[in-house]
Amino acid sequence: MSEADNKSSIGSFPGVMLRTDWVEKAEADMESLRKSAEFAVAQLKCDFPHWPLNDVRRWAVIRFKEHCFVSVVGLCIMRVHLSRLDWWENYAPGSGKIIIEGGRSTFDKMVKGKFVLDMVGNLEHSIKLILRELDPTSKAHKFSHLYRSLFRNSNPYLNVVPNDWEAPFELLRRMRNSIHTAWLYEPEQGGDYHITYKGKDISLICGKPIECFSWDLLNILGNDLFRILITLVRDPKVSHFSAIPDPGAGPSFT
């Protein structure tokens, strides 16, 4: 079930709740991705015991896991509370039935947006630290310059350059930029953006709200980014360093 079916069930079941089947699927998908990251963190600890606790190769995956956790919690709140009319009536007495659909949709949009922004923040920060270790002369700063440099095929930095990195990173970047411009697609250069990604036709139209955000797409995108991230930190040219300190490392609560 997709968010296209995010229509109220109130008409059929007066005063009860909105549909939650698509929320349940999204929650299960994100929890599965979180568990994959959790397992990967444990495996990295076993396979690379010499990496210090504050190493970016650990924390890139730890943060990924935590960002998935936040999405799972957000989806759980939507399923348990925001789908129920009585919750909204308690929040806004007498207006619950009016605001329930728009309220949950707005919360859903914000949870999706946070997932995208957190993914970019983690990848940008982690890639920058790894790239500086591989090439101290690197001048790359922008997110796009960082990942294009790291994953280059000419005179590559890595033993194995993922052959499918471009589509997920480019799509993620354009999503992030659109969130920063009030969810409108307004690229600095170029026109409309069209891509077929994992069988999904995606079109970003200049000056128009982005409409490609669905939990199905974010789950596919998240899995691709996770796979590429694990390939990166395990690459022999990256994993052999004794330490790559991460100033952003801190306690993990998940």
Tens digit of pLDDT at every position of the chain (254 positions): 344 444 444 443 344 578 899 999 999 999 999 999 999 999 999 999 999 999 999 999 999 999 999 999 999 999 999 999 999 999 999 999 999 999 999 999 999 999 999 999 999 999 999 999 999 999 999 999 999 999 999 999 999 999 899 999 999 999 999 999 999 999 988 799 999 999 989 999 999 999 878 999 999 999 999 999 999 999 999 999 999 999 999 887 65
The pLDDT score that the predictor gives to residue 253 is: 64
Looking at residue 14, what is its pLDDT? 43
Check if the beta carbon of residue 138 is closer than 8 Å to that of residue 149: yes
How far is the C-alpha of 156 from the C-alpha of 159, rounded, in Å? 7
pLDDT score at 118: 98
Strands 200-204 and 193-197: antiparallel
CB atoms within 10 A of CB 164: 11
End-to-end CA distance of the chain: 29
User: What is the rounded CA–CA span in Å between residue 152 and residue 127?
Assistant: 13
pLDDT at 114: 98
What does the chain come to in residues? 254
